[in-house]
Amino acid sequence: MFVGILHDQLPNPHCYDWLTSPGQNLRVQEAHTLPQLDWGAHQRQCALVALEDVKAYLTEDSGQIAVFDATNTTRERRALILNFAEENSFKVFFVESVCDDPDVIAANILEVKVSSPDYPERNRENVMEDFLKRIECYKVTYQPLDPDNYDKDLSFIKVINVGQRFLVNKVQDYIQSKIVYYLMNIHVHPRTIYLCRHGESEFNLLGKIGGDSGLSVRGKQFAQALRKFLEEQEIADLKVWTSQLKRTIQTAESLGVTYEQWKILNEIDAGVCEEMTYAEIKEQYPDEFALRDEEKYLYRYPGGESYQDLVQRLEPVIMELERQGNVLVISHQAVMRCLLAYFLDKGADELPYLRCPLHTIFKLTPVAYGCKVETIKLNVEAVNTHRDKPTNNFPKNQTPVRMRRNSFTPLSSSNTVRRPRNYSVGSRPLKPLSPLRALDMQEGADQPKTQVSIPAETSLAVHRLSSPASPTLLF
């Protein structure tokens, strides 16, 4: 029995950016007068205008996924969308959120609709009454997706009572399967995610990156301050996650609670630059230092990882965070940047330069249409490990790093994170690097003039996830 459709449970487009598939949410702003029979032409015109934006985004802006957020509750409206997709060779995946639980509907209106751009400040006192009337009007024309007969050939998922049950029909490709995976892992229950870095480490004091050093004296003081903070918060059923590196484990040990170690939460692998200072990297590998400054997100350390690699590595953590309640994640600077970028919807240009200072807690509260963030700095001094984005002073004829990200330096092994990384500086296996690896590339070329041989078993590991043959539309 139909009572309401919760359209605002559609996933935000940043979940697709996380999968290296550019996405955009295109929303049909509908008037707040109740649906009338003579209003159909107006609705249709609004939908057509929005679909033209979809077309422009997918064909002109190199988009891969568009979220068309509207009241597609009739077969006529869905036929309009399907015809549009067929004309433009787009794939379509419908998301229908159905609710017949009055308590869930009321909670959804208060939690979601009050934050909705549909309701300006002046109308929020009447949100409940107004939206219940809208539901009653939509019930008159609502035609649910029919997996047994009329809609058996369509690709879609029904989300019933905000995740109590799911019905999935005819998933066509990898991207659609990831959408299903995402929707089946999220929930709308109140929760808080706490993100912080480990306490200041010995290598932080020395200005060295990577490695597996322990906490400094001030780092241990932070761990105690973190324990006091958590005790004062009295957080119900708090889970604590750490990486498998010593500095996060030592921080968690001081909390006096059970914690879980995640190998994929380990810091970004700096390859041959592990346990070096930035000054040492600039002196020994000046070309690598310059290339990383040019495009920090895509640059991969020789024998190590890029931020793009790290984003892919962290996907299981993201999905698990979406499923959980209250969680404290004690991680590292690069890892924390990736997690913040996901929840705060930051792009690849911003991600590597997000400020994640030591001894600071980020309190994230997921809400409809975004995520509230509160920064809490504990009163323990620490070194500053942040490097600002450099000014762009690269030669105009130099090929951007994005053209070489999959052509050079494959991951050192299928096991991209090593623990412990405790080899000494003197015995680090340094290999000679080709000078100015990107400078000999012709502008616009995907391959260097000198062919670089990459073993077949590792080349698969460094290529981006394959894009679908056709762009995907999500409704």
Active-site residue (options: 7, 96, 99, 212): 99
- Burial group, residue 82, by CB count within 10 angstroms (0-12, 13-18, 19+): middle
Pairwise CA distance, residues 108 & 128, whole Å: 10
Element (H, E) at 391: none
- The answer to whether residue 196 is catalytic is no
Q: Are strands 370-377 and 360-367 parallel, antiparallel or unpaired?
A: antiparallel
163 is in an annotated binding site: no
Q: How many CB atoms lie within 10 A of CB 327?
A: 21
Active-site residue (options: 17, 69, 309, 322): 69
- Collapsing DSSP states into helix, strand and coil, what is residue 409? coil
204 is in an annotated binding site: yes
- From the list 18, 341, 9, the residue with the least C-alpha distance to 186 is 9
Active-site residue (options: 151, 267, 274, 322): 267
- The answer to whether residue 99 is catalytic is yes
Token pair of 194 as six digits = 């706490």
- The answer to whether residue 69 is catalytic is yes
Burial letters 408-441, b for 16+ CB under 10 A, else e: bbbbbeeebbbeebeeeeeeeeeeebeeebbeeb
7 is in an annotated binding site: no
199 is in an annotated binding site: yes
The DSSP call for residue 443 is T
CA distances from 106 to 4, 11, 41, 187, 401 (A): 10, 20, 30, 16, 50
222 is in an annotated binding site: no
169 is in an annotated binding site: no
Active-site residue (options: 7, 198, 332, 359): 198
Q: In this structure, is the dihedral angle defined by the CA atoms of residues 138, 181, 63 and 82, taken in order, positive or negative? A: negative
Tally the residues of the chain: 475
**Residue 392 identity (one-letter amino acid):** N
Answer whether 86's CB lies under 8 Å from 465's CB: no
201 is in an annotated binding site: yes
Q: Alpha helices of 146-253 — where are they, by DSSP H? A: 174-183, 202-206, 217-233, 246-253
- The answer to whether residue 46 is catalytic is no
Q: Are strands 165-169 and 156-160 parallel, antiparallel or unpaired?
A: antiparallel
Specify which residues 98 forms β-bridges with.
5, 160
Long-range contacts of 381-385, Cβ-Cβ distance < 8 Å, separation of 24 or more = 381/218, 382/199, 382/200, 382/204, 382/218, 382/219, 382/222, 382/357, 382/358, 383/200, 383/204, 383/205, 383/207, 383/358, 384/357, 385/204, 385/333, 385/357, 385/358
- Binding site for substrate, by residue number, is 197-204, 247
- Binding site, by residue number, is 197-204, 247
Catalytic residues: 69, 99, 198, 267
